[in-house]
Amino acid sequence: MKILVCISKTPDTTAKIAFVEGNTKFDENGVQWIINPYDEWYSLVKAIELKEKDPTTIIHLVTVGGADAEPIIRKALALGGDEAIRVNSISNDSFSVATSIAQVAKEGAYDLIFTGKETIDYNSSCIGSMVSAMLDLPFVSLATHLELNGTTATLKREIEGGEETCEAILPIVVSCQKGMAEQRIPNMRGIMAARTKPLKVIEPASIAASTTIKTFELPPAKSGVKLIDADKMDELVKLLKEEAKVI
């Protein structure tokens, strides 16, 4: 069993969101970087769980990014995984990122390709779907559960108002979310081991971006909360009806 886990570097969930250079660039000043939570808590830990069940499993991590993504990929290796590949390309165009990942995936002949549900910065939720199309593989999105039986995977995925169980024959692409696995914290042994795990850097194929970010904008600030006395709920109902017009 060979698993490829896609790892993305994202700003910490509490990072201050601001922009520079005429609102064309995210302000990285003072930002703490983390592994995208969906990639870490769900895809990576699920892959580790599968390896714990079947120790012959090989886990590769892939990230598309500059050298500044290496601390993140080392952190991921500290949780688990056998080796990592960094495609040396800085891009926020999903198509370019997916093309790089598909290239790695094709060469590695993986049985399972995991992505997180989305990244918490660009929230595009594109990579899994794109990679599956590029490799012509089945895609199960927003998976909350996966079990393997030989080359058959049984998965649960979120649907509106419930969940659906399905079976697919490997290889497949899966986007992972809450439910797939339980968050883990790396231990000292993992951190030490991660230092010497192979991290291969490869150059991307030249890809023309299909989209370009022009500008960023912050949402208009809320005009301020209107406080209502705890004993005046009739007034709140009236405001919701007549002012906000939502009930």
Partner 1 sequence: MVLIYIDQADQQIKKSTQEALSYGAAIAKQLGTTAEALLLGNVSDNLTALGNYGVTKVHHINNAQLNTFDAKVNATVVAHAAKKLNATVVVFAHNINGKAIAPAVAVKLQAGIVTGASSLPDTTNGFVVTKTVFSGKAFAAIQIETPIKVISLNQNSFGVHTQEATAIVEILDITVPAPSIKITSVDKIVGEIPLTEASLVVSGGRGLKGPENWGILLDLAKSLGASTACSRPVSDADWRPHHEHVGQTGIQIAPNLYIAIGISGAIQHLAGVNRSKTIVVINKDAEAPFFKAADYGVVGDAFEIVPALTAAIIKSKASA
126 binds partner 1 (CB under 8 A): yes
71-130 positions binding ligand FAD, by CB under 6 A: none
* Residue 84 binding result from ligand FAD, partner 1, none, given CB thresholds of 5 to 8 Å by partner type: none
13 binds ligand FAD (CB under 6 A): yes
129 binds partner 1 (CB under 8 A): yes
Three-state DSSP state, 122: coil
37 vs 108, beta carbon nearer partner 1? 37
CB of residue 190 to partner 1, shortest distance in Å: 23
209's tokens? 């971006």
84 vs 143, beta carbon nearer partner 1? 143
27 binds partner 1 (CB under 8 A): no
179 binds partner 1 (CB under 8 A): yes
126's tokens? 């594109």
β-strands 162-169, 152-159: how paired? antiparallel
110 binds partner 1 (CB under 8 A): no
Angle at 99 between CA 23 and CA 153, to 5 degrees: 115
Residue nearest to ligand FAD (CB): 13
Counting every residue, how long is the chain?
A: 247
Three-state DSSP state, 244: coil
127-146 positions binding ligand FAD, by CB under 6 A: none
90 binds partner 1 (CB under 8 A): no
Measured distance CA(59)–CA(77) in Å, rounded:
10
109 binds partner 1 (CB under 8 A): no
Which residues does 65 contact at the CB level (< 8 Å), separation at least 6?
A: 8, 9, 86, 87, 88, 89, 90
Adjacent-strand bridge partners of 10? 34
31-50 positions binding ligand FAD, by CB under 6 A: 37
Adjacent-strand bridge partners of 143? 157, 176
211 binds partner 1 (CB under 8 A): yes
Residues in touch with ligand FAD (CB under 6 A): 13, 37
